[in-house]
Amino acid sequence: MIKIESKRTFLRDYARDGSDLESILRFTGDPEVATHSSWGPLTRDETMDYMNKALMAIDAQPRVNFALALVLKSTNELIGNVSLNIRNPQTREAEIGYTLRRDQWHQGYASEAARAVIHFGFTELGLHRIFATTSPHNVPSQRVLEKIGLKREGYLRKNVLQRGSWRDSVLYAVLEDDWPRV
Ligand SMILES: CC(C)(COP(=O)(O)OP(=O)(O)OC[C@H]1O[C@@H](n2cnc3c(N)ncnc32)[C@H](O)[C@@H]1OP(=O)(O)O)[C@@H](O)C(=O)NCCC(=O)NCCS
């Protein structure tokens, strides 16, 4: 059972009894949250599929997908998701992502939790490189990545199919050697 703590938040696996569904739906089902994503907004059934896949990944040996609930310590409320997916075990490379409920934006929670999961990736999983891609129009997401120390590496042309149209992405990454050990 994963628990990754930061000052105001912790990340944990979704509950196996499915009890997180309503909380997850608050961000997966919101069209504004999905503005810059290739997915969503998701229906209740699609959200249940997403949650069930995340639950199945918990028991994989070795585990390569971490779709984690972002929980506020102060209220124990599930307010979002942070993911870490190992894309290439040989090169020890993983991708991060994050999504928060709209009423919790602009309080630094995404930066805090993403920093914690990157620390986990380097120190507990022994990763070499962690990357993220985002839409060039997603300024808050680029800001999060820059704040926590990822460097902009490139610009990918029309690599994402977003609701029927191709769109560009910006690529950010951080290397194990860049990451503070303390
Ligand atoms: C991206 C997202 C996770 C950020 O969450 P958050 O908790 O609000 O992020 P933080 O508060 O840690 O940081 C956001 C930063 O963006 C800045 N920002 C927000 N809106 C901005 C805007 N329109 N223009 C410029 N900067 C902006 C904030 O000021 C903050 O930077 P600062 O701390 O230097 O002031 C949230 O907006 C979200 O869930 N969006 C929808 C899903 C999504 O796009 N996920 C990422 C897919 S790659």
pLDDT digits (tens, 9 = 90+) for 12-64: 999 999 999 999 999 999 999 999 999 999 999 999 999 999 999 999 999 99
159 lines ligand 1 (CB under 6 A): no
Give the per-residue pLDDT at 182: 53
Long-range contacts of 86-92 (CB under 8 A, 24+ apart): 86/125, 86/127, 89/62, 89/64, 91/128, 91/129, 92/125, 92/126, 92/127, 92/128, 92/129
Cα 60 to middle of ligand 1, angstroms: 32
1 confidence band (pLDDT: 50, 70, 90): confident
Cα 57 to middle of ligand 1, angstroms: 28
Average pLDDT for 78-95: 98
Residue nearest to atom 48 of ligand 1 (CA): 134
172 lines ligand 1 (CB under 6 A): no
Cis (ω within 30 of 0) for the bond into 140? Answer: no
Cα 54 to middle of ligand 1, angstroms: 24
Q: pLDDT tens across 144-160, in order?
A: 999 999 999 999 999 99
Give the per-residue pLDDT at 86: 98
Give the per-residue pLDDT at 146: 97
Q: pLDDT tens across 95-127, in order?
A: 999 999 999 999 999 999 999 999 999 999 999
Judge contact between 16 and 55, C-beta under 8 A. Answer: yes
Give the per-residue pLDDT at 180: 80
Average pLDDT for 70-75: 98
Give the per-residue pLDDT at 181: 62
Half-sphere exposure of 128 (CA within 13 A, CB side): 7
Cα 128 to middle of ligand 1, angstroms: 26
Structural domain boundaries enclosing 14: 3-181
96 lines ligand 1 (CB under 6 A): no
Kindly report the CATH number assigned to the domain that includes residue 92.
Answer: 3.40.630.30
Residue nearest to atom 17 of ligand 1 (CA): 140
143 lines ligand 1 (CB under 6 A): yes
Whether the model clears a pTM of 0.85, i.e. scores above it, the answer is: yes
Judge contact between 78 and 23, C-beta under 8 A. Answer: yes
Q: Report the chain's terminal Cα–Cα distance, integer Å.
A: 23
Split into its structural domains, the chain has a count of 1
